[in-house]
Amino acid sequence: MSQQNPVFIPGPTNMPEEVRKACYVPTIDHRSPAFAKILHPCLANVRKILKSDKAHVFIYPSTGTGGWETAISNTLSAGDKVLAARNGMFSHRWIDMCQRHGLNVEIVETPWGQGLPADRYEEILAADKGHQIKVVLATHNETATGVKSDIAAVRRALDAAKHPALLFVDGVSSIASMDFRFDEWGVDIAVTGSQKGFMLPVGLAILGFSDKAIEASKTAKLPRTFFDIADMTKGYAANAFPYTPPVGLMNGLKLSSEMILEEGLENVFARHHRIAEGVRRAVHAWGLNLCAAGPEVYSDTISAIRTPGGFNATQIVTHAASKYGVAFGVGLGEVAGKVFRIGHLGMLTDVLALSGIATAEMCMVDLGLDIKLGAGVAAAQDYYRNTTTA
């Protein structure tokens, strides 16, 4: 794999050089005021990126998976009931984690390629007269299928059913890249990680908690130690962590979040949409289809591209790596071998996106697919040339 080429996987994403350097700071005393100058701007900036005035932000040395565990272990007790739809690999993994923690998960099986069934959620919540369901899980952007779901619609379902369940949202591949509205959507816990929209190495789980989620944590009985938000809250009050913090990653987060806010959230979202639409134009020009069922669920951070029946899509990924030194994402779970994925989030531009489109196109031609060399690149070029840059 060539380190000179950008990656086109859904994460970890490409890092701006200044962010990479910010992660490599000299050792400091993490219990001194020097760390406070890193910690508190990170918390404040993440809150802004969540579009929240009141979210309690927590940052752990972990990944998005650790963020999921933080959410459930701090707010639930063994045997509690959770409502979730399984529409991709990452919703499946969150369900699996809940089950391993002894939670009772009501699963709405949903075809991979479709968004969350908010109408079905409403029916189930309305029928739950005793309010046994404590949490609704929602994957905002299903990384395996390139599907975006309508979180506002899930909130409306909860409100229409007059149900008090908490709303937990996996925003790992959406937050800091796609519009996310913590306060407006009534999200109780949002989970993301450092290695996607924040353009950092893997290593930070980043969460926002509502006041309601904080209250739930006071009576929850699931065990937690490393991920205990009460301990983290005490640490923050003393300008520290309850254990040794990842100072370099935190310093990188301080800079990357500043860069995102300086570019402007709406500009960031528009840039991601623009790049994604160029990829989608290329897919159409190739005569292929996305895994996502329709435009209303197209992700602006990941495109999962279906290849013709009988062709193993993983070949494209392995061929790109071996011949061209470029990384794409393989299909996962039910779509393994049926799709390859182009990640188009984080530090990307039109020009960089064109290099990924061109490489995917060369790979498909090399492997004998009926693709006209240059067709996808030309379609994306036409779109990028004739639309306004944010």
Domain ranges for the chain: 17-262, 264-385
Alpha-carbon separation of residue 309 from 133, 288, 322, 335 (angstroms): 41, 11, 24, 12
- Beta-carbon-side half-sphere exposure of residue 86 (alpha carbons within 13 Å): 16
264-385: CATH, from 1.20.1090.10, 3.10.20.30, 2.170.120.12, 3.90.1150.10:
3.90.1150.10
Structural domain 17-262, CATH architecture: 3-Layer(aba) Sandwich (3.40)
pLDDT at 41: 98
Q: What is the per-residue pLDDT for 389?
A: 59
Burial of 120 (0-12, 13-18, 19+ CB in 10 A): middle
How far apart are the two ends of the chain, measured CA to CA in Å?
32
Share of the chain above pLDDT 70, in %: 99
Interaxial angle between packed helices 375-385 and 350-366, expressed in degrees from 0 to 180 and rounded to the nearest 10 = 170
Residue 3: burial class (beta carbons within 10 Å; 0-12, 13-18, 19+): exposed
Torsional sign, CA 224, 229, 230, 231: positive
Q: Do domains 17-262 and 264-385 have the same CATH topology?
A: no
334 to each of 97, 113, 291, 383, how far by Cα in Å? 19, 10, 11, 32
Predicted model pTM: 0.96
Distance CA 385, CA 283 (A): 17
DSSP 8: B
- Segment among 26-35, 39-48, 240-249 with least mean pLDDT: 26-35
Q: Crossing angle, helix 265-286 and helix 375-385, to 10 degrees?
A: 150
Task: Give per-residue pLDDT as tens, 204-235.
Answer: 999 999 999 999 999 999 999 999 999 999 99
Q: Residue 306's pLDDT band (boundaries 50, 70, 90)?
A: very high
Evaluate if residue 309 carries a pLDDT over 70: yes
pLDDT tens-digit profile of 177-194? 999 999 999 999 999 999
Burial category of 193 from C-beta neighbours within 10 Å (exposed 0-12, middle 13-18, buried 19 and up): buried
